[in-house]
């Protein structure tokens, strides 16, 4: 059989594979067998946020009477620019985008398997759950029910115009993208048992903006009780949560650029196209300390112990500075701030020079320091926390003499390379199997450790240990402690938040 035809046949489950069907609260779904697991795609978890429902909390999802085919992803949410992964997949876009996807090992009644809910990255302005990189089949093959979801992006997802809020007093009126994620988690709670999942054993995990989302969900009172464990991959929460007054200023400026002023502003904005709204946006986009969904800055919630008390796994990659070389798209204005003299001297002693110093300081200040601080805060609550550093270079990066693993470079290893696994060299596959084992062990038990894996101690004590994943993998005490401590002291001085 021709190679391409063979790959397609394997993904589709082979000749004669019977389409799985499941009944949920909304109606009957017909899925497909893909890579040996049952897949259901494009399931609405909320009503389309269009017309009068734009900039409103997500509403209950529609139902249906006939069997609904669930074999194709829903469109990605409207977005400014084009994420390269979205562009390569040629994914359609629509405001009717609040859908999720489920991969399950099987539909046995009462199976009660652990559930992992993936939140994609993209700076809160780009991305989508249907990116091929996020195929959940390999993780599902390890006994996990995997869910991925779309959520509103850009100013359609994070917008705080007082004139809109005044129309619906008492409703949350800023963090619509986070509210979408919470609605998806509620859908999982109410429906995942039909797919063989355990609603009491949900792990929420995400990368970059998805990692920031995980941290925000840890802090968000409306998300309490909807997940039992959390994994934040390269989530730079030390960026800070946008203050409500600043979010309102940006929203008013956007409205003015679109001619939406005075009492009729909400009607003008709801009649405008999604593309025109996103094009008129300015400044950073992301979670807002609105006093309802997020009571305060997310990091302040962690430091103050006002977050969900659940096992927490977090970490970053060895070359997060790749974001600076890529132009810093969607990064806050201060993310490329100059390197202070104290930091420059520290990195020079370590052998770095020139642009390397700024890139390493960027990675340590915004990623490694975030992981260390938030893990310490979770441990102080009495929940277990684990920290990793992903530094294993696959062959393709070694050939390019890459300085380290770039932002997002761990994702293929977590998801198992999808159809490209047949082309991956043995050492890459071995590291992927290890990462998948850690992640799924954590989802199953709240502890990533398991037989045959390098020991990964919880992040605790005066000299906590970080699991460094490289050509050899081991837990390292005090990993980059001097750089992280310097970054945290600077953050504390800038924000006025005392370190624990």
Classify each residue of 296-313 as buried b or exposed e, where b means 16 or more C-beta atoms within 10 Å of its C-beta: ebbbbbbbeebbbebbbb
C-alpha closest to that of 195 among 150, 152, 136: 136
Question: One of 208, 213, 330, 384 is an active-site residue; which one?
Answer: 208
CB 468 within 8 A of CB 476: yes
Q: Which residues contact 95 (CB under 8 A, 6 or more apart)?
A: 48, 49, 50, 54, 77, 78, 156, 274
Phi, psi of 475 (to 5 degrees): -85, 130
Out of 320, 330, 384, 432, pick the active-site residue. Answer: 320
How far lies 340's CA from each of 322, 353, 498, in Å?
Answer: 20, 14, 20
The angle that helices 355-363 and 341-349 make with each other, rounded to 10 degrees, is 100
Active site residue 208: yes
CB-based contact 65:27 (threshold 8 Å) = yes
Q: What pairing do the DSSP bridges indicate for beta strands 37-44 and 99-104?
A: antiparallel
DSSP string, 23-41: EETTEEEE-EEETTEEEEE
The one catalytic residue among 35, 359, 407, 410: 407
Q: Output the CA torsion sign for 427, 432, 437, 439.
A: positive
Through-space distance between the first and last CA atoms of the chain, rounded to whole angstroms:
61
- The CA distance from 24 to 68, in Å, is 11
Query: CB burial class (10 A; 0-12, 13-18, 19+) of residue 401?
Result: exposed
Residue 108 is a catalytic residue = no
Bridge partners, 202 (sequence order): 115
Q: Which residue has the tokens 């559930």?
A: 115
Choose among 152, 184, 192, 137: nearest CA to 419. 137
- Greatest Cα pair distance in the chain: 68
Catalytic residues: 208, 320, 407
């Amino acid at each position: 059989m021709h190679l391409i035809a063979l790959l397609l046949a394997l993904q589709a489950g082979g000749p004669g594979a019977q389409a799985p069907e499941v009944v949920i609260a909304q109606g009957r779904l017909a899925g497909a067998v893909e890579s040996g697991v049952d897949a259901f795609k494009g399931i609405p978890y909320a009503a389309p946020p269009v017309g009068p429902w734009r900039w409103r909390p997500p509403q209950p999802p529609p139902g249906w009477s006939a069997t609904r085919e669930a074999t194709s992803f829903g469109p990605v949410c409207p977005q400014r620019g084009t994420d390269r992964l979205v562009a390569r997949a040629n994914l359609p876009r629509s405001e009717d985008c609040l859908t999720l996807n489920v991969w399950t090992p099987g539909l046995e009644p009462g199976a009660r398997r652990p559930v992992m809910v993936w939140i994609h990255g993209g700076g809160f302005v780009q991305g989508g759950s249907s990116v091929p990189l996020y195929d959940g089949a390999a993780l599902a093959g390890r006994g996990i029910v995997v869910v991925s979801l779309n959520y509103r992006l850009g100013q359609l997802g994070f917008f705080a115009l007082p004139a809109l809020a005044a129309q619906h007093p008492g409703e949350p009126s800023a963090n619509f993208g986070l509210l979408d994620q919470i609605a998806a988690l509620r859908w999982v709670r109410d429906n995942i048992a039909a797919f063989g999942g355990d609603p009491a054993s949900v792990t929420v995990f995400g990368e970059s903006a998805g990692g920031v989302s995980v941290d925000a969900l840890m802090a968000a009172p409306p998300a309490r009780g909807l997940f039992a464990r959390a994994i934040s991959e390269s989530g730079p929460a030390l960026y800070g949560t946008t203050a409500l007054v600043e979010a309102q200023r940006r929203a008013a400026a956007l409205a003015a650029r679109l001619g939406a002023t005075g009492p009729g502003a909400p009607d003008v904005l709801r009649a405008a196209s999604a593309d025109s709204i996103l094009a008129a946006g300015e400044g950073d986009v992301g979670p807002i300390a609105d006093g309802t969904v997020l009571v305060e800055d997310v990091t302040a919630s962690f430091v103050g112990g006002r977050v969900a008390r659940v096992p927490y796994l977090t970490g970053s990659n060895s070359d997060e500075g790749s974001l600076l070389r890529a132009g810093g798209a969607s990064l806050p204005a201060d993310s490329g701030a100059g390197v202070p003299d104290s930091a420059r001297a520290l990195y020079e002693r370590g052998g770095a020079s020139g642009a390397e110093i700024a890139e390493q300081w960027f990675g340590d200040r915004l990623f490694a320091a975030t992981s260390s601080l938030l893990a310490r805060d979770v441990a102080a609550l009495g929940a277990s926390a684990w920290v990793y550093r992903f530094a294993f270079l696959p062959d393709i990066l070694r050939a390019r003499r890459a300085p380290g693993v770039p932002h997002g470079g761990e994702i293929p290893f977590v998801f198992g390379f999808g159809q490209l696994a047949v082309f991956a060299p043995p050492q890459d596959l071995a590291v992927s199997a290890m990462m998948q084992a850690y992640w799924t062990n954590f989802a199953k038990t709240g502890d990533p450790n398991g037989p045959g894996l390098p020991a990964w101690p919880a992040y605790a004590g005066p000299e906590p240990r970080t699991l460094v994943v490289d050509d050899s993998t081991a837990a390292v005490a005090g990993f980059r402690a001097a750089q992280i401590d310097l970054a945290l002291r600077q953050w504390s001085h800038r924000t006025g938040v005392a370190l624990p």
